[in-house]
Structure 1
Amino acid sequence: MQVKKFSRRGVTRVLWLQSVADDGHVPTRSELTAGTDLTDAIASIDGWTLSNQPIETPDLGSTFESKIPGTDQADDSSLGFYEDRASDELEQLLKKDATGWVVFLRKGDVPSSRSMDVFPVRVGSRSPNYSTDNEAAKFTVNFSITEKPVQDAAVPAAVVPKQEK
């Protein structure tokens, strides 16, 4: 199989949505458009993965200790941001206890690509990163993933304006 490799930098988009109407947590194009694009302010990404807690199933008939899939859980997840010296828009948007959805468009905003992951979240904390090093000012937002995320959803089609006849 030939794989067209790419770097997430410059391709992947990360959005913050304050509302998603669908009970299955798949946003519409208008909800994506209404969201806040966080991509250019992100300095680091940690977590945003699911893991499974397997259940051991030993039996008397074998010396092999088999396992079956158990419960799923989301890893601790955070986004690191560059601070904006002139604006506190991100800090106000991502206050402690704010709820919303973090959306990753893994392969960019490519309609019909099954590369959209949607995480229902609540902000657990937001803290500035203090440093005397020669680096940009940053802050970290820690998120609690509150429900099962949607993975590999299709990116909604772009809205095409209707042409008058």
Structure 2
Amino acid sequence: MAATPINVSDKFIHPGITVVLFVPTIADPAAPTRVELDAGTDLTEEVIAAGGWQLNSNRVSYNPLGSKFTPNIAGRQSVDDSSLTLPQDLAGDDVRSVLPQGTTGYIVIMHGGDVAASPMDVWPVEVSSLGKPVLPEGSEIASIAVQFAIPSEPAESVAIPA
């Protein structure tokens, strides 16, 4: 009997599909409501770069006396430094008004768009810094790198409410 094949995925690229929200309050990150999501701020049109936003697992090796092989098991999870980069506005009317340093809430990433029952990731966050690099060569737009601390485990692959 042949192994069951994996479902063939409906492939996509993030631009034009993925939605990124900042939501100030979510009672249960494993089951956000549509009212909670709609009370957030849609950052999608301004996000020009994103970094981190994935869990990593350490591996713990151990040395059983009865073998020369050193096996390992899954260990603690951690998250890479996570950030969103958005453009600066000449008058300062930009992400600084939504996410000043110290702001807490949730970054919600709907990888396949805001489609009911599709999966999204809900990241608890605290804004740890707002970096504003100066680029004298003029090859990029002026931007703000919003750095986030992740104070607790994110809720991954949560169904988007209708």
Normalised TM-score (structure 1): 0.89
The residue number in structure 2 matching 1:139 is 144
Offset, 1:88? 2.2
1:127 to 128, 131, 143: 131
Look up the SS of the partner of 2:21 in the other structure: strand
The residue number in structure 2 matching 1:103 is 108
Distance in 2, Cα, partners of 1:36 & 1:85: 21
The residue number in structure 2 matching 1:27 is 32
Distance in 2, Cα, partners of 1:96 & 1:60: 51
Following superposition, which runs of at least 4 residues in structure 1 exceed 6 angstroms of deviation?
A: none
Distance in 2, Cα, partners of 1:4 & 1:19: 32
Distance in 1, Cα, partners of 2:16 & 2:84: 17
Offset, 1:63? 1.3
Offset, 1:47? 0.3
1:86-132 Cα distance to aligned partner (Å, 9 max, x none): 4524202211111010000010001011x210000101100212112
Amino-acid identity (%)? 39
Offset, 1:52? 0.9
Q: Does 1:12 align with 2:18?
A: yes
Structure 1 vs Structure 2 CA RMSD: 1.3
Look up the SS of the partner of 1:126 in the other structure: strand
Matched to 1:143, the amino acid is F
Distance in 2, Cα, partners of 1:30 & 1:136: 34
Distance in 1, Cα, partners of 2:26 & 2:160: 14
Distance in 2, Cα, partners of 1:142 & 1:27: 23
The residue number in structure 2 matching 1:118 is 122
Normalised TM-score (structure 2): 0.90
1:111-161 Cα distance to aligned partner (Å, 9 max, x none): 011x2100001011002121122321111010000110000000001xxxx
Offset, 1:50? 0.4
Offset, 1:75? 1.2
Distance in 2, Cα, partners of 1:136 & 1:108: 26
Distance in 1, Cα, partners of 2:8 & 2:122: 28
Matched to 1:154, the amino acid is A
Structure 2 portions without partners, runs of 5+: 1-6
